[in-house]
Chain A
Amino acid sequence: MPRLSRWYIRAGLVHFLLGFTVGALMLANKGVPFYPAAWRWLPVHIELLFMGWVVELTLGVAFWIMPRFWRKPRRGNETGAWLAFLFLNVGIWMVVAGSLWPLTSWGKTAVFGGRLLEAAAAVAFAVHIWQRIVPRNFIPPAHKQ
């Protein structure tokens, strides 16, 4: 498993545990109320588990198992995938922070900026992975010389 996949998947596991913790607290509060404002955390729960867990794990595994080239660099130009990791994680935490104060102007700005970064992450990762979605025995033009 390459280093970048390990970063993606470990970040995903951390987000998973945080998202599960928030969810467990909300569920327990539904049964035996102890914190009236627990529902404020619902967007955080969703963000951590959708973007932070499912998307992050998916990108990490995709970077790992998608076809590699016969010659180095085996995974092509990795810049887009690394940028995606950075954008995605900064974006997730901006959305999380903004979601906790949704009525403030900085909260709205943080959510907007976070969503922009998440979209940029998707673009960057797609640019990287596009070159690797190829048939068996494909030789990229750069390797033909």
Chain B
Amino acid sequence: MPTLTRWFLKSAFLYLVGALLLGVLLAANPLFPLPDFIRFMGPVYFHLFMVGWISQMIFGVVYWMFPIVGRENPRGNELLGWLTYICLNAGLLLRVVGEPAVALRPGTGVGWVLVISAVLQWLGGLFFVLNSWQRVRERGKL
């Protein structure tokens, strides 16, 4: 299993744990007095699960298992793969911070955190598609 895939998969499991722990906090919020920002974390919970867990698992397995494209760079452009990982995770973590911050302090300039988060995640998605497209092929080529 390539190094990048291990990073994708291990990060994905951390997000799964994080998402489910956040789910516990969201469910506990009506029962116990918790910090105010918790009630704005609903979208974060969902995206930790769908982007952090499911998408990242897919990205890691696609990079690992899809047909190879050549002898020198069997899995396509490895730099693009790492940029996918960095952009996706940086963007998602910024969302974790930015989403409740924007809800608690609207119009204070903190909204730009969400803009940067959106751009980073989108770039991560774009890099993944660019690198994976060439590997959707009939069979591995050596």
Interface size on B, residues (CB 8 A): 30
Which of A5-13, A74-82, A93-101 participates in binding chain B? A5-13
Cβ < 8 Å to B, chain A residues 17-69? 17, 20-21, 23-25, 27-28, 30-32, 49, 54, 57
CA distance A93 to B66 in the complex (A): 27
Minimum CB distance partner of B54 in chain A: A54
Chain A: number of interface residues, binned into ranges: 20 to 34
- A1 and B67 contacting across the interface, CB-CB below 8 Å: yes
For residue B37, which residues in chain A have a CB less than 8 angstroms away from its CB?
A: none
**Interchain CB contact (< 8 A) of A32 among B50, B95, B115, B125:** B115
Cβ < 8 Å to A, chain B residues 103-128? 110-115, 117-119, 121-122, 125-126, 128
Which of B2-10, B27-35, B130-138 participates in binding chain A? B130-138
Whether A25 touches B129, Cβ cut-off 8 Å, given contacts A31-B112, A49-B50, is no
CA distance A13 to B138 in the complex (A): 17
For residue A32, which residues in chain B have a CB less than 8 angstroms away from its CB?
A: 111-112, 114-115
For residue A31, which residues in chain B have a CB less than 8 angstroms away from its CB?
A: 98, 102, 110-115, 117-118
Q: Is the interface of A mostly helix, strand, loop or mixed?
A: helix
Task: Tell me the minimal C-beta distance from A34 to chain B in angstroms.
Answer: 10
- B118 and A1 contacting across the interface, CB-CB below 8 Å: no
- For this complex, 17 residue pairs linking A to B, each with C-beta atoms less than 8 Å apart, are A1-B139, A3-B138, A10-B136, A13-B129, A13-B136, A16-B128, A17-B129, A20-B126, A23-B118, A24-B118, A24-B119, A24-B122, A27-B118, A31-B110, A31-B114, A31-B117, A31-B118
Residues in B lying within 8 Å of A, measured CB to CB:
50, 54, 58, 66-67, 95, 98-99, 102, 110-115, 117-119, 121-122, 125-126, 128-129, 132-133, 136-139
